[in-house]
Amino acid sequence: MKFCSHCSGTIELRVPEGDTLPRHICATCNIIFYQNPKMIVGCIPEWEDKILLCRRAIEPRRGLWTLPAGFMENTETLAQAAARETLEEANARVEIGELYTVYSLPHINQVYLLFRASLLDLDFKPGIESLEVKLFDEKEIPWNEMAFQVIHDPLKKYFAERSLGKFGFHMGVIDRAQNSHS
Q: Taking 50 as the threshold, does the pLDDT of residue 182 lie above it? A: no
| 8 A C-beta contact, residue 96 and residue 81 | no
Q: How high does pLDDT run on average in the chain?
A: 95
| 8 A C-beta contact, residue 21 and residue 15 | yes
If you write DSSP's letter for every residue of 13-80 in order, what string do you get?
Answer: EEPPTT-SS-EEEETTT--EE---PEEEEEEEEEETTEEEEEEESSSSSTTSEE-SEEEPPTT--HHH
Does the domain formed by 1-35 have CATH 2.20.70.10? yes
CA 168 from centroid of its chain's CA atoms: 19
Distance CA 170, CA 68 (A): 19
97-106, 111-120, 171-180: range with lowest mean pLDDT: 171-180
Q: Express each pLDDT in 63-79 by its tens digit.
A: 999 999 999 999 999 99
Residue-level pLDDT at 176:
76
Residue-level pLDDT at 177:
55
Query: What number is the average pLDDT over the span 127-156?
Result: 96
Q: Taking 60 as the threshold, does the pLDDT of residue 5 lie above it? A: yes
Domain ranges of the chain: 1-35, 38-178
Kindly report the CATH number that applies to the domain delimited by 38-178. 3.90.79.10
Query: What number is the average pLDDT over the span 150-156?
Result: 95
**Phi and psi dihedrals of 40, rounded to 5?**
-105, 125
Distance CA 93, CA 83 (A): 7
* pTM of the predicted model as reported, rounded to 2 decimal places: 0.89
